[in-house]
Amino acid sequence: MDYKLIHKKIHTKLTPEEEVIFNNWYNESKKHKDYFERVKANYQNDTLFVDTLKGWKLVEKQIDKPIRKIYWKLAAAVSVILVIGFALFINNHSTQQTLYATTDIEPGTSKAILTLEDGTNINLKKGYLFKTENLTCDGEKIIYDNEDSIKNEHVNYNYLTIPRGGQYYIVLSDGTKVWLNSDSKIKYPTKFIDGNTRKVELLYGEAYFDVSPSTEHGGSKFLLFTKMQKVEVVGTEFNIQAYKDEQYIYTTLIEGKVFIDNGNVKKVLNPNQQSTLNIKNNDIKVSSIDVYDVISWKKGEFSFKEKSLYEITKVLARWYDVKFVFENQEIKDVRFNGVLNKKQSITTILSIIKTSINIDYEIRNRTIIIK
Which residue did the predictor score with more confidence, 235 or 265?
265
Which residue did the predictor score with more confidence, 133 or 56?
133
Instruction: Count Cβ neighbours within 10 Å for each residue of 182-208 and write b for 16 or more, e otherwise.
Output: bbbbbebbbbbbeebebbbbbbbbbbb
pLDDT band at 97 (very low <50, low <70, confident <90, very high): very low
**pLDDT of 24-37, one tens digit each?**
788 888 778 777 77
| Alpha carbon of residue 344 to chain centroid | 15
Per-residue pLDDT, 149: 58
Locate CATH 2.60.120.1440 in the chain. Answer: 109-289
For residue 346, the SS3 value is helix
Strands 301-308 and 335-341: antiparallel
Per-residue pLDDT, 304: 87
Residue type, 318: R
| Percent share of the chain, pLDDT over 70 | 80
Contact partners, residue 319, CB within 8 Å, separation at least 6:
107, 108, 164, 165, 182, 342
- 13-22, 40-49, 110-119: least confident range: 40-49
For residue 170, the SS3 value is strand
Alpha-carbon gap, residue 326 to 336, rounded angstroms: 17
pLDDT band at 17 (very low <50, low <70, confident <90, very high): confident
Nearest to 168 by CA among 116, 126, 223: 126
Contact partners, residue 275, CB within 8 Å, separation at least 6:
250, 251, 260, 267, 269, 284, 285, 286
pLDDT band at 70 (very low <50, low <70, confident <90, very high): very low
In the predicted structure, residue 186 carries a pLDDT above the cut 90: yes
pLDDT band at 71 (very low <50, low <70, confident <90, very high): very low
Alpha-carbon gap, residue 361 to 345, rounded angstroms: 15
Class of domain 109-289: mainly beta
In the predicted structure, residue 13 carries a pLDDT above the cut 60: yes
In the predicted structure, residue 49 carries a pLDDT above the cut 70: no
**pTM reported for the whole predicted model:** 0.76
Mean pLDDT of the chain: 82
In the predicted structure, residue 52 carries a pLDDT above the cut 50: no
Alpha-carbon gap, residue 240 to 231, rounded angstroms: 10
DSSP per-residue string spanning 228-239: TEEEEESS-EEE
Per-residue pLDDT, 151: 63
Contact partners, residue 206, CB within 8 Å, separation at least 6:
180, 181, 182, 184, 239, 240, 241, 242, 243, 297
Per-residue pLDDT, 175: 94
Q: Please count the other Cβ atoms lying within 10 Å of the Cβ belonging to residue 109.
A: 14
Question: Across residues 253-258, what is the average pLDDT?
Answer: 95
Residue type, 218: G
Nearest to 270 by CA among 284, 256, 286, 260: 256
In the predicted structure, residue 96 carries a pLDDT above the cut 70: no
Nearest to 188 by CA among 179, 201, 176, 178: 201
For residue 45, the SS3 value is coil
Per-residue pLDDT, 38: 66
Give the dihedral sign, CA 150/152/154/155.
positive
Nearest to 158 by CA among 112, 126, 196, 195: 112
DSSP per-residue string spanning 272-294: TEEEEEETTT--EEEEE--THHH
Architecture of domain 45-105+295-370: 3-Layer(bab) Sandwich (3.55)
Q: How many residues does the chain have?
A: 371
Locate CATH 3.55.50.30 in the chain. Answer: 45-105+295-370
Question: Across residues 197-222, what is the average pLDDT?
Answer: 93
Nearest to 176 by CA among 216, 122, 133: 216
